[in-house]
Structure 1
Amino acid sequence: MTRPVVQEVAGDASLPRAVDLVVIGGGILGVSAALWAAEQGHSVALLEKGRIAGEQSSRNWGWVRRMGRAVAEYPLGIESLRIWQGLNTRIGQETGFRRSGIVYSGQSARQLAWLATVERDAAQFGLAVRRLSRAELAEQFPGARLRDTEAVMTEEDGRAEPALAAPALAEAARRAGAHVLTGCAARALDLSAGRVSGVVTERGRIACDAVILAGGAWSRLFAGNHGLDLPQLRVRSSVLATRPLPGGPRHALGNGAFGLRPRLDGGYTLARRGRAAVQITPDAFRLLPDFLPGLRRNRHELALTLDHGLWQGATTPRRWSAEAVTPFERCRVLDPEPQQHALGQAMREVRAVFPVFAQARVAQSWGGIIDVTPDGVPILDHAPGLPGLVIATGCSGHGFGIGPGAGQLAAELATGAAPLVDPAPFRLARFGRGAPAG
């Protein structure tokens, strides 16, 4: 099987005629926004073209961290961890969240410089991050054959289960009063006097006062139909999960070759680290001026990949009417094949470090598509020139951990509530984007 097994969420049978807020996208960010808004007493409709957590929200590594983020994300990461800590009790369901510790390690000059940056940034925000010597690192991973010379560790960061978390939050949102509509694509915004007044779906129109666009890798396409140019590209990821493996490491670990974390079922999730596969698509050429500085700066971390994404991007319509069948209905779930060569290399690296993994057996592997921005920081902002629309996208591979906080912040922007954190670092204007064109 090349997709993770995700807790199924059945959609509601009927479409509401009117709500206060429509959330487009049933990933971790969208369901978190819907839950918070419903808990505050707002009527909410959550729209998902496929299934809840069908794409990257169930296909990520499952890390819940504050350490190692862009400086702009630290406040959101801190608040999100606080939310994660109380989620199981708050919703009465298992998300898999555990505070089990995360370690980053390295040995090259470039890796050690990055570890120093992580330590400095964490200290700026008062996080309890420990610098580990080679001997101290060995104490955290008994029996490991680590070649790394230094590491940083936070015992308070943790992990959760992507296959459980977003579905559990969607069910909680429904219990709080939200309408949860799966297999129901949003086709277009309905505008009155230049302001959002509803959403046209494949099953009919929903009147509303506000909309949150949390469509992940699809957000740029949906926004573009309304003349908004979101600077967002797609990165292909590959992940595998092992069967239960007694005696393995108890902390999540990321080094120059791989990332791994313990799973709730006793197995491990692991992936290759350090070479993100940026898909070559027509948008990659259109957005080259936006992304080129980052590509140059992070050339050791990125690799261009030519795959089905080029054909898909070239043949997908960029404009359509609200009455037409949309790209979101033609492709309900992005489900790329995992890159088995990269996963095989990651497993070999893990086995070289942890002898116990010689007994590891792969339970599943899968591919995913990550939505990224030029600076690797999400967009959480009112859409310029389209009052009533809030954009919540571009989490750049960090979205699972910050999803609860980012979703709450998006819902606060949409409803006019006081924001959880300062939203200024997440504004679209930092990329020089203004009102819709045309």
Structure 2
Amino acid sequence: MKSKKPLNELIAMILDEMENAQFSEETRRQYRDVYRRLQKLANARQEMFYNNQMGQAFIEDCNYVGTDEFSHHRFYFHKRCVHILEILVYTGLVDWSQCSSNESRHSFGVPLFDTIYADYIMFLKEEGMKPSTICTYSRTVAYFLNYIETKGYKSIEDLRPGDVTDFMLAMCKEHWNPKCLGSYISGMKKLLTMSKTSSAFIRELPSYMPRKKDIIEVYSDKEHEQLINHLGKADISKRDKAICLLSIETGLRAIDISNLKLDDVDWKNEVMYLVQEKTSHAINIPLRSSYGNAMADYLLDERPDSSSKYIFLHRKAPFDKINSHTCIFSILKKAVRNAGIEKNGRINGTRMMRHNAASRMVRKGIPLPVIAEVLGHSDPNSTLAYISTDGERLSECTLPLPRGAYE
């Protein structure tokens, strides 16, 4: 395979498309750095056009710089960037998505691993797993299969004691957030239970991961007003304004905002009906004038002319629905930054907006069961954590010091 376009033009097309899709600047920077390394390799080989041999050489360049130590993170990014590039050469389309229809797509050098991966996806579907869960679990297994592939294994039967433990440690060091390890462990358990030989290695996975109870960070009243005022005056698109207000006031998850359909909104009765992706709970949300008017402005004046059933679409053809996490995270992060709100180590995106919306409901005296229903918590006890954000109410609960403490 040899491209008809120079490598530098193909790389520019990929990076432009990532910007159009509103990938974060940090993500685009990572890909720019990787493709810069590929361009450097092409220059060293004195080749202007991409070919398979160049791609394979780039994938094999997977050690930490200046050492002989293997870097799984470098291996993964080199392989992924080559994959995106080859799809562009074959189809003329930039397909950078991690998951198509919430399902990861990967290919392996060992044919048997392709079969194992496909069987694993089918196994998850037969168990009735949600698409988002399949996406997370399958990505975990893809990492694992890539990992044992680099060790020279040709089958799961080649696993040796310590391999699973070493894999988990390597992923925590290079790629995973240890706070999310529970999901990755569950995905690995599903894979290892698929055969009698591999099931023996389940013992190398932690049996229980304690959840870290962080203090929930929210915006102050001043910061909240600052953000609302910014959205009222800023020169931003009607779509982004509607998404921001919807997230700020309802605390909806990114996937649920992305999945909002035109017929989910009952304009006459001023209510939205939706089934939450994570919990499968059906909820009704009052259509408040703030985000309701912003959504109407977007639908009437800015939304592309499309037959799509979804409300929020990409600005450019083919006008698909927006990607839930990547696009919405970028929109919210940009709005907060442009409103002049300091990050101060706090999280961004809809998670922060959920925390903030729940905190404000608590401070307004809304009963916890109602808040749990609005947020779609399957366990109402999850909502109790937001009590800690109401400093004024908590101060009323303090007990006076014993008399002897003053002496």
TM-score (normalised: structure 2): 0.23
For the pair shown, which has the larger CA radius of gyration, 1 or 2? Answer: 2
When you count helix as a share of all residues, which structure comes out higher? Answer: 2
When you count strand as a share of all residues, which structure comes out higher? Answer: 1
Greater relative contact order structure (CA < 8 Å, 6+ sep) = 1
TM-score (normalised: structure 1): 0.22
